[in-house]
Structure 1
């Protein structure tokens, strides 16, 4: 028979073991969730769901508006290319339909609430349904390219170190796809998968350049093509390319710093009339009197708006440089 003191010690041991096991179970669950959330790029998240690599590759291409072979789905190549390079995922038809419906709703509300003629509502529909999505895609593409430009030199350095360690080029590219964050990680992971499923590195790099639209990737594609045809030390080529891209990035940042005053002036000059108009409309609604009833008001405002946009375009060209 077990005495009462021994029984109490035994209960304490079981209680302590239970607490330790419960804490460990909670920790393992938490760490597993953090690992899933902290997966560094979209492709690795897809692979973490235990989907086959070929199926993951096809789904990544389809959601970017590409076929399974990496070609554009739609015949309007320029729009399809813009959508692909923006990095937005999903069906392109769904994306365009959302903006068209939004433009239709805004135009109807403008017509019903203000009583304007059909022409301003039509202009509003055209802007929201067709111009706004293009501006949105261009902005998304430019932001993505800038982020890609910051990541690419580090990725090239990683490839160079892997090649010097004796790994083949396909393994080095796959390493970048596993270790780098988006957008570069997923794009290089797609390249690694395409090489695995039969494409040459040169073809995969060319498709990568088309998907991203960054000039540095065109240099990478050309470097790989020349090296495969004429030979040469690939590690030295990529190391020099990484150095060139870093110097270009430094020059771009320097130009951006020097042109900051011009960009700020453009914003102030562009927004000042709109802000003053809004202040007058709130403080003194009758300031403009019966001007709004004049039939010339809409053509005059249209001309002034186009003139202001032309000035903004000129200032934009003055502070943006291609090199």
Structure 2
């Protein structure tokens, strides 16, 4: 058989040698444990695959000494390496060199032949690619994922299209805080965490409640209803207007103010959304703003405030910048 490629790890062996023959065999030897019956025959107690060997006959024609020096550290790795043949590129063998690589020099050392023997400890090849079963392709050739809306469990049926039993790799992602995962299979089970969530602790996490990057015109901020007073100081008027102009919110009209008020202005309000648990409000809150201000003429005064209130418009926290 002609090979266009034989790769060991990341190294293309055919750049270093000519591959003359490869012996992979058809199958791996089986080892059977049996129990002799009192009557005729035996009962099979257990069967297992043995390790197997792959042999590669090769020829080195040019730069023999240099090729040997390059080949030795590649072959003599003390770890398993992937061996892939071009005639079957969808599988690989996890191998390690076995025994001495014996070579014969011919025609006064003008070319060299030899055999490399690789041990395959597992006894079988493995697929280069993996098949993925998820909610998108459930019900197809890879299997099905069926949630149970009654008890919250999920039934997963995986179609193994290989020639040997295998273990699936399962990726679990919590959609909310969860203290326990239980996975039950045909031949075993595994539990992670405490099924009773006995610690009683809800683990907090940070969430972004509002970001103007996704609301560049500040459309979620609305003008306050008529008669709403400034929650920090009623001496500031609120019936003026603040509007979006090109790159942010700007003071638009002063509005009117009563004889007891000292400044006129506008006010906008946004109700912070609930977090992922449906809760409104936060124990710890961070708020970042970019503020840009200047005086258009000498003697101008002003105040800019960012205020947080409760459901009854009572001040919780805030800050302000003033020019007196």
TM-score, reference length from structure 1 = 0.20
User: Using CA pairs below 8 Å that are at least 6 residues apart, which structure has the higher relative contact order?
Assistant: 1
| Greater percentage in helix | 1
Instruction: State the TM-score, normalizing by the size of structure 2.
Output: 0.20
| Bigger share in strand | 2
